[in-house]
């Protein structure tokens, strides 16, 4: 078993310093170890070891940039709530999840509880593009989609990398 496999299988408890490292990296993912270590009151080496341990345990899954989609490409951002039919079962969930994973227009998808099963954030060229795309979903009987409700996003008030 590799060290990564051992670490991810071992229970891991976060202490105050780990929590502070996570809080800082959530907002400043490109901070240097020198600056991070000063903020959490450690020397750089132990700070770097803590970050690597958080990565090995899968607590820190990666680093990325927060992109202003409107500046990258014109288009329409939508929050779409999706309900699968009550009789659909796990195979429909798997089929729907595979479809959204493969769909470049889908930016985020979350399984939720309540009236709807999924919350999907998408970016489409326009409403016609959205309509055409979701019509193919609705026509795919393996997905068992009962209802789609779209909410166009007007403006982003707060967004973070996590």
Residue 25's pLDDT is 93
Domains, the chain, ranges and CATH? 3-56 (1.10.10.10), 69-152 (3.30.70.920)
Mean pLDDT, all residues of the chain = 89
Q: Is there a contact between 53 and 7 (Cβ–Cβ < 8 Å)? A: yes
Residues 79-104: tens digit of each pLDDT = 999 999 977 788 899 999 999 999 99
What percent of the chain lies above the pLDDT cut of 70?
93
At residue 12 the predicted structure's pLDDT band, cuts being 50, 70 and 90, is confident
Half-sphere exposure of 148 (CA within 13 A, CB side): 21
Kindly give the residue spans of alpha helices, DSSP state H, lying in the chain: 3-9, 16-27, 33-40, 44-56, 69-72, 89-102, 127-139
The residues, ordered by sequence, that sit 6+ positions from 115 with a Cβ below 8 Å of its Cβ are 81, 83
Rounded Cα distance between 101 and 59, Å, is 22
- Residue 98 Cα distances to 91, 106, 135, 139, 142, angstroms: 11, 12, 17, 16, 11
**Banded model confidence at residue 66, pLDDT cuts 50, 70, 90:** confident
Whether the model pTM is above 0.85: no
How far is the C-alpha of 12 from the C-alpha of 24, rounded, in Å?
A: 20
């Amino acid at each position: 078993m590799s060290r990564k496999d051992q670490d991810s299988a071992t229970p891991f408890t976060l202490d105050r310093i780990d929590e502070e490292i996570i809080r800082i990296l959530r907002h400043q993912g490109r901070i240097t170890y020198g600056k991070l270590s000063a903020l959490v009151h450690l020397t750089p080496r132990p700070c770097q070891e803590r970050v690597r341990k958080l990565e090995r345990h899968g607590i820190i899954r990666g680093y990325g940039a927060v992109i202003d989609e409107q500046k990258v490409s014109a288009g329409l951002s939508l929050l779409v709530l999706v309900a699968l039919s009550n009789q659909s079962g796990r195979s429909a969930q798997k089929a729907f999840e595979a479809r959204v994973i493969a769909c470049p227009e889908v930016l985020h998808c979350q399984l939720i509880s309540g009236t709807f099963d999924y919350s999907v954030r998408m970016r489409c060229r326009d409403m016609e593009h959205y309509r055409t795309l979701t019509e193919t979903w609705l026509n795919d009987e393996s997905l068992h989609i009962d209802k789609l409700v779209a909410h166009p996003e007007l403006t982003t008030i707060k967004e973070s990398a996590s």
